[in-house]
């Protein structure tokens, strides 16, 4: 779908014509980059033929590393290994503390009202962390396409506010990427699923990601999407499901007191593995700090019930607003 065919509030309808333009999904958990070849979208792979780049950045004594190779460092060196940075884009220190970041990171105010991570490399802003992810994706694209990029369309949650959108643009600028436009993720999802091929219709997109939730209602008419209403929560996603399961695990294991950053990361990794196992299984075994037990789907639903309710309330509001 050409950019001309997407109508979103506050967005220009002007089409862009560039030789090497890409689309970037800057995700909470994983990111990827794609381009259009022969009229079809094609995801650009890394040197190991992997489409996804884990959105992980490690600030080590020898330099900065991004992606899959530093995954284990989230546990062994958690305060210098930033994950889910999207949750902190355009946020203050106080907002970040409320959103679960206190479990691992040491925060500081960057002087402009926004949060920074305290690492061995100094104070690092979420914009700088995101720029490392974007820079890695851009390098992948340049190698695949045989030249420097002319620009990129970057997806963002529909419920991102102005500060969060500007932070995304700033990260791209820092990475040396020209932003052609920001595209709301639910609209991108509608296009990806081919919903633009229909003549007309009313479409609701429920988009629950790793760190954000969006609900958008779109009207399709003559190949043009019109965004009627959006709702959501930029601090609600799979990470919060893991936090809820982790809280249950702590109770089952009778663990009191504060946990170290390493212990927190191990706890969250255990919670995530259990959640993912229940995608295909009705019950899974769980072990944490000497405690062994089981987590079934019924208990999982109890853990996340209030979070699911939050998505439903936001969805109903978007439907009413439409």
Q: How far is CA 37 from CA 143, 151, 155, in A?
A: 15, 16, 19
Q: 238-306 has which fold?
A: Actin; Chain A, domain 4 (3.90.640)
Cα 270 from Cα 249, distance rounded (Å): 9
Give the pLDDT confidence score for residue 319 in this predicted structure: 95
pLDDT of residue 8: 53
pLDDT digits (tens, 9 = 90+) for 94-120: 888 887 655 789 999 887 889 999 999
- 195 pLDDT band (50/70/90 cuts)? confident
**Host H or E run for residue 229:** strand 224-233
Give me the residue spans of the domains in the chain. Answer: 1-193, 238-306
Q: So which residues are the catalytic ones?
A: 25, 86, 185, 207
d(CA 231, CA 319): 9
Give the model confidence (pLDDT) of 223-234 as tens digits.
Answer: 788 889 999 998
CA angle centred on 261, ends 256 and 265, rounded to 5°: 90
pLDDT digits (tens, 9 = 90+) for 19-65: 789 999 999 999 999 999 888 889 999 999 999 999 999 999 999 99
Domains 1-193 and 238-306 share a fold: no
What does the DSSP assignment read for 100-146?
A: TGGGTPPEEE-SSS-EEEEETTEEE-HHHHHHHHHHHHHHHHHHHHT
User: Residue 156 is inside which H or E element, if any?
Assistant: strand 151-156
**pLDDT tens profile 121-159:** 999 999 999 999 999 999 999 999 999 999 999 999 998
For the record, the structure tokens of 58 come out as 């490690």
The DSSP code sequence of 267-316 is HHHHHHHHHHHTTT-SEEEEEETTEEEEEEHHHHHHHHHHHHHHHHHHHH
Using a pLDDT cut of 70, give the percent of the chain over it: 93
Task: Give per-residue burial for 109-128: e unless 16+ CB within 10 Å, then b.
Answer: ebeeebbbbebeeebbbbbb
For the stretch 244-264, pLDDT in tens is 999 999 999 998 888 899 999
Coil/strand/helix, residue 232: strand
Tokens 């040491």 identify what position? 106
Q: Read off the tokens for 166.
A: 């500007």
Mean pLDDT of 240-245: 95
Residue 309 has pLDDT above 90, yes or no: yes
Q: What is the pLDDT of residue 193?
A: 80
Residue 149 in 3-state DSSP?
coil
Residue 95: the pLDDT is 87
CA distance 189 to 191: 5
Model confidence at 5, in pLDDT bands (50, 70, 90)? very low
**Architecture of the domain spanning 1-193:** 2-Layer Sandwich (3.30)
The answer to whether the CB of 184 falls within 8 A of the CB of 197 is no
Structure confidence at residue 2 as a pLDDT band (50, 70, 90):
very low
Q: Does residue 174 or residue 5 have the better pLDDT?
A: 174
Distance CA 17, CA 162 (A): 26
> 7-16, 165-174, 195-204: lowest mean pLDDT where?
7-16
Q: Is the pLDDT of residue 169 over 80?
A: yes
**What tokens appear for 310 in the block?**
């939050």
19 Rama sector, left if φ>0, alpha if ψ -120 to 50, beta otherwise: alpha
Residue 214: its pLDDT value, please?
Answer: 94
Give the least confident one: 185-194, 195-204, 211-220, 250-259.
195-204
Q: With 60 as the cut, is the pLDDT of residue 183 above it?
A: yes
Mean pLDDT of all residues in the chain?
90
């Amino acid at each position: 779908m050409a950019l001309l065919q997407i109508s979103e509030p506050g967005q220009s309808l002007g089409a862009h014509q560039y030789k090497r333009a890409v689309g970037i999904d800057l995700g909470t958990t994983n990111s990827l980059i794609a381009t259009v070849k022969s009229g079809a979208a094609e995801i650009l792979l890394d040197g190991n033929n992997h489409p996804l780049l884990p959105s992980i950045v490690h600030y080590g004594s020898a330099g900065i590393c991004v992606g899959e190779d530093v995954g284990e460092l989230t546990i062994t060196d958690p305060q210098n290994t930033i994950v889910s940075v999207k949750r902190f884009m355009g946020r203050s220190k106080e907002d970040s503390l409320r959103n679960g970041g206190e479990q691992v990171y040491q925060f500081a105010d960057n002087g402009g009202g926004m949060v920074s991570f305290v690492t061995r490399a100094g104070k690092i802003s979420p914009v700088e962390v995101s720029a490392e992810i974007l820079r890695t994706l851009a390098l992948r694209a340049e190698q695949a396409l045989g030249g420097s990029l002319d620009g990129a369309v970057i997806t963002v949650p529909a419920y991102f506010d102005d500060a969060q959108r500007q932070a995304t643009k700033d990260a791209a600028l820092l990475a040396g990427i020209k932003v052609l436009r920001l595209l709301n993720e639910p609209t991108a999802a509608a296009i990806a699923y081919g919903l633009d091929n229909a003549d007309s219709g009313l479409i609701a997109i429920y988009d629950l990601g790793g760190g954000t939730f969006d609900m958008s209602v779109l009207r399709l008419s003559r190949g043009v999407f019109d965004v009627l209403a959006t709702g959501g929560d930029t601090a609600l996603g799979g990470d919060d499901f893991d936090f809820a399961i982790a809280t249950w695990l702590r109770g089952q294991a009778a663990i009191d007191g504060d946990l170290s950053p390493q212990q927190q990361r191990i706890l969250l990794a255990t919670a995530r593995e259990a959640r993912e196992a229940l995608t295909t299984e009705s019950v899974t075994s769980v072990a944490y700090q000497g405690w062994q037990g089981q987590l079934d789907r019924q208990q999982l639903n109890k853990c996340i019930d209030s979070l699911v309710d939050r998505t439903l309330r936001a969805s109903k509001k978007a439907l009413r607003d439409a």
